Chain A
Amino acid sequence: MEAAVSEKNSVSVFLENLDVSENTSNNSYVSEVISEAKDRLLNSKLPNKKQESWKYSKIAPWLKKKYCCSRSNEDFDISAYASTSVNANTLVFVNGYYRDDLSILRDSQNGVIIQNMTEAVDLFKDDIDKYYNKAKDASFFADLNTVYHTNGVFIKVDENVIAETTVHLLHIQTGTGTIAQSRNLVILEKNSKLDILESQLELNASDSISNHLSEFFVNENALLNYTLIQKGGDNAAIHSNYFIQEDFSKLNSNVFSLQKKFIRNNHSVRTVGTDTETRLNGSFMPGANEQFDNRTLLDHRNVRGYSEEVYKGILFEKSNAVFYGRIFVDQKAQQTNAYLNNSNILMDDSARMHSKPELEIYADDVKCSHGSATGDFDTEAQFYLQARGISLDSARKMLIHAFMNEVSGKIENIEIRDVVNSYMNERMMKLDQ
């Protein structure tokens, strides 16, 4: 009993140390959502390794720190960030605050609404009441985001509209001990299409944490292409995406975890419609004393869903990574076809990989497979390349590329693919020395 009390206190201590104000809303529904989340938070425990979902990732040290939400008006050149080379409507968030002055809205298009979340709550009340908070779960960080998020973006693509320009959410974290929490809502109406790039970068940030959360609703026959790049500094990132797919909709999600002290991605897809197609892919490259944890859930709830999931990791010296991929097939979800694979290369004996693919199937007419393989770098292939005159250095790079390119190669947008590849190259050059 005493233990429980002290755990409960630890949440209060964490919240007291959080120099951020709670959200309020004029919208009665949103206001209720916030107060429910607050109640749950106060009655929850801080994530800790006794919980199954946090068994292998050491979040505890990050929850002992004090954070404040420093709004920054610092002016800087966003073109220094490679991801801005993608032709896109770029929305810049600094420490979770939207920066109109830094954002670049190149093209406006009829039927593509891009709105600051704070304003959207009033302007798009019907959509907010219909979609807001409907995809997310009730985990600690999701609730934390609900109560304390600063701002975010509301994106809506109308029926039969193909968004011609990529929307780029550029998160920049800066300062020491900051917390950045954006809250985003993306709605693709029937027969629409949208490409989203989200990049999480930093500017002289340390001991900081981010907890961004997005909900995506991919309605009937719509297509969403989503890419996430995570890179930068001695900081922690908790990142949550919740996708809901309706009939005949398609989702391609590609996630690249390249550098941060701590990354935890909670990415889940619920296919409520029939005949959905889902592709979830990821690459992660943790370096020394970094810990990357990718947690995915593919929740098949309806018939004839197709899903394909490939996560690949290269773990360097003294790094640590977790992959937990769960596929759930509801009793109703007959003729589901689901494939999940996680493969990893350990570049050093001191690297640690925890991989747990999981299938939970309640329907009897399904085709599901999952696999996981973790091994050392293929020195036989390396020697083969050397024996053809290719230097040791080039040989290693070629092999690492070949392994990782399988995932970046799945990005359809060539500009985004090139940017991802250049981030990966840069990362590799630093790590593989």
Chain B
Amino acid sequence: MDSIIKIKNLHAELSDGTKILNGVNLEVKPGEIHAIMGPNGSGKSTLASVLAGREDYIVTEGEVEYNGMDLLDLSPEDRAREGVFLAFQYPVEIPGVSNINFLKTSINEIRAYKGEGPISAKEFLGMVSEKSKLVELDNKLKNRSVNEGFSGGEKKRNEIFQMAMLEPKLAILDETDSGLDIDALRIVAHGVNTLKSSENASIVITHYQRLLDYIVPDIVHVLWNGRIIKSGPKELALELEDKGYDWLKKEVITE
């Protein structure tokens, strides 16, 4: 089966030359959920940012094949239009832009890219009401400015709401669990699980194992020092929860 994304020997650094990714290899196939774990500073968020096209990072080596295309060659907006979705670790507040207008613009630009006409008001509102139920997003929040004055949990639910609206092929969830209480965590996970299909895939980046109780991964990877040092079944996450990361680091060093 063809993969959705194939990352080969990816190296990336900051503009000041600080190397963050040092040869990441990862392949994700349709229908799969991959978890990426690792200690702080291991490069997890950088990997998410590079895939989404954030300009702060320079790719110095390697390639990323997405759906048969060279992903790194696409602008951030074209990546999104091709079905890559990044759920932000820190969703940005945008005063003066209503959540609903923002989403409508987003959907229509994606449709225009695909050569489709703008979405009808009826269809759009129907979608909004269906998808916001999925993450139990308060009606009032939809008309407010994007993320402005939202609680931490509301911001994360808003990310999953957007994901539901845009129906991506590849979702990258960057520490979506951070700062969530158990209820919000359950709601977010329910949203992600409901959206899962045999056509799409997710990369779930997390620091803690607890999210993986709700979103069950097919494969768990451990990122350290900008490289994936171990991959394994979902039980690996539990092992990490028990033993921490040090034993793995030692393993790598002794290699």
Q: Which residues of A contact B (CB under 8 A)?
A: 378, 380-381, 383-392, 394-395, 398-399, 401-403, 405-406
Contacts and interface: CB of A to CB of B under 8 A. Distances in A.
A403 B145 CA distance: 12
A402 B86 contact: no
B109 A391 contact: yes
Contacts of B162: 388
A380 B109 contact: no
A381 B52 contact: no
B80 to A, nearest CB: 4
Closest 10 CB pairs of A and B: A402-B96, A389-B80, A386-B76, A384-B92, A388-B106, A389-B110, A386-B77, A402-B97, A389-B81, A381-B92
Q: Which of B85, B88, B94 has the most chain A CB atoms closer than 10 A to its own CB?
A: B94
Given A383-B55, A384-B91, 19 more contacts: A378-B92, A380-B92, A381-B92, A381-B93, A381-B94, A385-B102, A386-B76, A387-B79, A387-B80, A388-B102, A389-B107, A391-B77, A392-B75, A394-B105, A398-B105, A402-B94, A402-B97, A402-B145, A403-B96
A388 B75 CA distance: 12
Contacts of B54: 383
A380 B91 CA distance: 10
B232 interface: no
Contact of B97 (A386, A387, A389, A398): A398
B97 A399 contact: yes
A391 B110 CA distance: 10
A388 B92 contact: no
12 contacts: A380-B92, A384-B146, A386-B77, A387-B76, A387-B77, A387-B88, A389-B81, A389-B166, A391-B109, A395-B77, A405-B96, A406-B96
Nearest to B49: A383
B88 A384 contact: yes
Nearest to B107: A389
Contacts of B105: 390, 394, 398
Interface string B142-168: 000110000000000000001000100
A390 B92 CA distance: 15
Contacts of B77: 386-387, 389-392, 395
Q: Which of B97, B102, B107, B146 has the most chain A CB atoms closer than 10 A to its own CB?
A: B97
A406 B166 CA distance: 29
A258 B92 CA distance: 29
